[in-house]
Amino acid sequence: MKVSEILSTSTKAFPSLEIVPPLRGLTKEELLESIAPFMEFKPKYINVTSHRDEYEFREEANGTFSRHLVRNRISETTVCAAIMSRYDIDVVPHLICGGSTKEEIESKLDNLEFLGINNILALRGDCMTGEKRFTATPGGYRYASELVEGIRSYQGSAGYRRSRKLEKDSPVSLEMADDRYFCIGVGAYPEKHFEAPNIETDIANLKRKVDAGADYIITQMFFDNKIYYDFVEKCREAGITVPIIPGLKPLSTVRQIGTLPEAFSLDIPLELTEAMKDAGEDRKAAYQIGTEWCTMQCKDLIAHGVPAVHFYTMGKSENIVKILQECF
């Protein structure tokens, strides 16, 4: 089912879970085991992030340089296929502009359509390690809004076109025929994307994504719900009407009070920072404080009538499971 349909038919808030594909070496069984604890909550879908392979150039004895793969994850499409092979659940692969030409993106869409996947979270993608600013791939998309436009203009693979022709009376082919085969989500930043000069410009750029055809929005993580409520109000004032799903991540280590603001350009409230610092070397206490804070945020968001709460699980399940038990 498309996320947009789930959102429009759900009568109460539901959890949405995001996982990161494993680095090479982990088996399919290990991956499926790692998400098994979430299944008791019957999530309606699982998001799978997308990452570019990382290479380094090494100088050879003859003075030339050769390219070597130094870090690669199993692809989002492969992970989605693995999840679908075990669980009766929808999947939402992330699709990023970075690292692919427009034709390569089209090929990825062919693969998704081949697997019967009709949900996508469309993103520009993170910078490469060592890059300060995102560099678009030659022949690729520069912004997520362009990617959304590209997905909306997708005509389908040969098999898909054939099935449209052969089954033109079936409801599935009619749905595909209106160029909205894919339900598209996009990302947003309640504390502003780090490159945007101000929140107003960033929201105007968010609106470009919605105008290009995005069906819903998922926010970056935040640790103070007021920031999310204010952001939603600003988006509505700017004419953005689609659902805006809040994104949450529980802090699990004291170190994250330094690393998360740097990596995601966000604030951690003083009260939470102090509590984590007080936990000091006591890892269990820090973990519990982070879990309790996120539980409190989640309960408050649900009380405010959010359609869903998106969790950045980062491959960890214990704290998320605790939060789901408390809130859903």
Residues forming contacts to ligand FAD in the complex (CB under 6 A) are 49-51, 94, 96, 121, 123-126, 143-145, 187, 193, 195-196, 202, 205, 208-209, 218, 220, 247
Q: How many Å apart are CA 86 and CA 84, to the nearest integer? A: 5
DSSP string, 151-166: HHT----HHHHHHHHH
| Residue with tokens 């969790």, as numbered in its chain | 311
Q: Identify which of residues 134 and 285 has a Cβ nearer to ligand FAD in the complex.
A: 134
Tell me which H or E stretch contains 34. Answer: helix 28-39
Tell me which H or E stretch contains 29. Answer: helix 28-39
Q: Where are the alpha helices (DSSP H) in 216-281?
A: 225-237, 256-264, 270-279
Q: Identify which of residues 38 and 189 has a Cβ nearer to ligand FAD in the complex.
A: 189
Q: Residue 63 CB, nearest distance to ligand FAD (Å)?
A: 34
- Closest CB to ligand FAD belongs to which residue? 187
Q: Residue 34 CB, nearest distance to ligand FAD (Å)?
A: 17
Q: Identify which of residues 191 and 202 has a Cβ nearer to ligand FAD in the complex.
A: 202
Q: Residue 142 CB, nearest distance to ligand FAD (Å)?
A: 7
Instruction: State the number of CA atoms in the 13 A half-sphere of 5 facing the CB.
Output: 12
Q: Residue 264 CB, nearest distance to ligand FAD (Å)?
A: 8
Q: Identify which of residues 147 and 302 has a Cβ nearer to ligand FAD in the complex.
A: 147
Q: How many Å apart are CA 3 and CA 245, to the nearest integer? A: 11
Q: Identify which of residues 88 and 262 has a Cβ nearer to ligand FAD in the complex.
A: 262
Question: Measured between alpha carbons, how far is residue 113 from residues 77, 181, 184 in Å?
Answer: 11, 9, 14
Q: Residue 65 CB, nearest distance to ligand FAD (Å)?
A: 26
